[in-house]
Amino acid sequence: MKFADYHIIPEIKQSLEEADFRRPTDIQFKAIPNILNGEDVLAIAQTGTGKTAAFAIPIIHLISKGGVNQGIQAIIMVPTHELAIQITEVFNKLGKYTDVKTLGVFGGVDQNPQIEELAGGVDILVATPGRLFDLVNQRHINLRDIKVLVLDEADLMLDLGFYKDIEDLIKYLPRNRQTLFFSATINEKIKKLAYSLVRNAIRIQISPKDPVSKNVTHSVMYVNMDDKRFFLERIVNENPETKILVFVRTKVRAERVHEAMKRVNIKSLTMHGGKDQENRLEVMQQFKSGEVKLLIATDISARGVDIANVDYVVNYDLPDVAENYVHRVGRTGRGNNKGVAVSFCSPEEKPVLDEIESFMDKAINVLKVDKADYSETLALTDDVNDNWKQLLREAEVEDKKYKKKPNKKK
């Protein structure tokens, strides 16, 4: 089935055609008709499957058909600033030929411009729980006319501690509403929240046996913790035109890897919780545009954010939680694109690797690095702080040559 065959307004079809969206993904194919029919939906689907368009297309259609300028009719709750911005962009892109107005509101920036836009009239609101709750309490947002509530990346919202905020906000919403619940993973706590919100929901589960997109090739190489930067340097140098997203455990690690790349003349950006919102927006723009092709990030950037044409995801550090591996590698191989995920595993991280493989229910292919190749990677670094390693290698070679020379007879 093609989008051209759907019973949606021509203005959305025009936007889809311009975006080269011809056929729906699995989640879109299963969700769109049910949402158009007014059903509640509980959808479990891994990242990169097209979840945003799965709810954006029918919501824009329903609001456009029902009439705009009637107050806020749909709220999309998301866990992070980046995701709020991204989803707002998708709604604006798909609804650009309609009169439907979408606004993103989130913390970390001045709320006054957001309040001014709200006063001008908004049909769809994309919001993080904290800023949404603040604006509701300040009476800048009225939720009594909400027809559709969407919780996107619900599992991350719970991980970030938004459970009570969500429960409190629900009290302001009309009971007679449509609720769409999207999550990449499912557990008892998520089920409890989901079933407290939806009514007779249509349950959709995409690739339940394989939580990672089939478009991603996975591999792991065993690398000592202190040597990881040399292998990252080599990957970058061997793929100069490739957009690479690197994940580390902490913001301190992110800055250290950034400095290590700086020493070998590789330009990179960092993204983590220590950055202010203005800086994070600038970083995302530079990486999305390809101005800088190496982004070093903590797990704050692993969820939901759609960055076009990420060719490689490098797990510089394995994630503390096995589920986060799925969200990290979901940044590549999105839609119909192919992607590569490479993980560096130090000896002390092997138990984490075992957990990841158990969660995925399959082994990750091991890239075997022989001693000669490992030594060559260390020796070829441009890091002046590690020139002693190259000198040591050269000394070892000379020593071997000397030992091979026949003894001269006296």
What are the residue boundaries of the structural domains of the chain, listed by start? 3-205, 216-392
* Listed range (69-83, 262-276, 378-392) with the worst mean pLDDT: 378-392
- What's the topology of domain 3-205? Rossmann fold (3.40.50)
| Pairing mode, strands 202-205 and 148-151 | unpaired
Instruction: Report how far apart, in Å, the C-alpha atoms of 188 and of each of 114, 181, 192, 193, 195 are.
Output: 36, 15, 6, 9, 11
The answer to whether residue 394 scores a pLDDT higher than 60 is: no
Q: Which two tokens stand for residue 372?
A: 């000669």
pLDDT at 335: 64
CB 326 within 8 A of CB 47: yes
Of 216, 177, 190, nearest to 315 (Cα)? 216
Q: Which two tokens stand for residue 143?
A: 């939720």
Q: 96, 15 in Cβ contact below 8 A?
A: yes
What's the pLDDT tens digit per position in 100-120? 999 999 987 889 999 999 999
Which of 225 and 197 is assigned the larger pLDDT? 225
Q: Which residue has the higher pLDDT, 274 or 200?
A: 200
Assigned token pair, 167: 């429960």
Mean pLDDT score, 49-76: 91
Q: What is the β-pairing status of strands 102-105 and 365-366?
A: unpaired
pLDDT tier at 385 (50, 70, 90 boundaries)?
Answer: low
What mean pLDDT is reported for the chain? Answer: 86
Write the DSSP string, 210-265: --S-TTEEEEEEE--GGGHHHHHHHHHHH-TT--EEEE-SSHHHHHHHHHHHHHTT
What single string gives the DSSP state of each residue in 75-107? Answer: EEE-SSHHHHHHHHHHHHHHTTTSS--EEEE-S
Query: Which of 403, 12, 46, 1 shows the shortest CA–CA distance to 205?
Result: 46
Between 59 and 371, the higher pLDDT residue: 59
Name the pLDDT band for 409 (thresholds 50, 70, 90): very low
Question: What is the rounded distance in angstroms from the CA atom of residue 261 to the CA atom of residue 104?
Answer: 35
Closest listed residue to residue 353, CA positions, set 390, 395, 318, 389: 318
Tens of pLDDT, residue by residue over 314-362, are: 999 999 888 788 878 888 877 667 889 999 999 999 999 999 998 888 8
* Res. 410: pLDDT tops 50: no
Q: Angle, nearest 10°, between helix axes 10-18 and 51-66?
A: 150
Could you tell me which of 346, 352, 383, 354 has the C-alpha nearest to residue 262? 383
Q: pLDDT value at position 334?
A: 72
What CATH superfamily is the domain 216-392? P-loop containing nucleotide triphosphate hydrolases (3.40.50.300)
Reported confidence tier of residue 208, pLDDT bands at 50, 70, 90: very low
Structure tokens that stand for 286 in this block: 């530079």
Tell me what the mean pLDDT of segment 131-141 comes to.
91
Q: Which two tokens stand for residue 113?
A: 């411009």
Cα of first residue to Cα of last residue in the chain, in angstroms, is 89
State phi, psi for 21 to the nearest 5 degrees: -90, 105
The residues, any chain, with a CB within 8 Å of residue 307's CB and separated by 6 or more, are 243, 245, 284, 287, 288, 331
Q: What are the φ/ψ torsions at residue 146 (nearest 5 degrees)?
A: -65, 125
- pLDDT for 122 equals 95
pLDDT confidence of residue 68 = 79
Residue 296 pLDDT grade (very low, low, confident, very high; cuts 50, 70, 90)? very high
User: Same fold for the domain at 3-205 and the one at 216-392?
Assistant: yes
- Distance, in Å, from the CA atom of 389 to the CA atom of 387, rounded to the nearest integer, reads 5
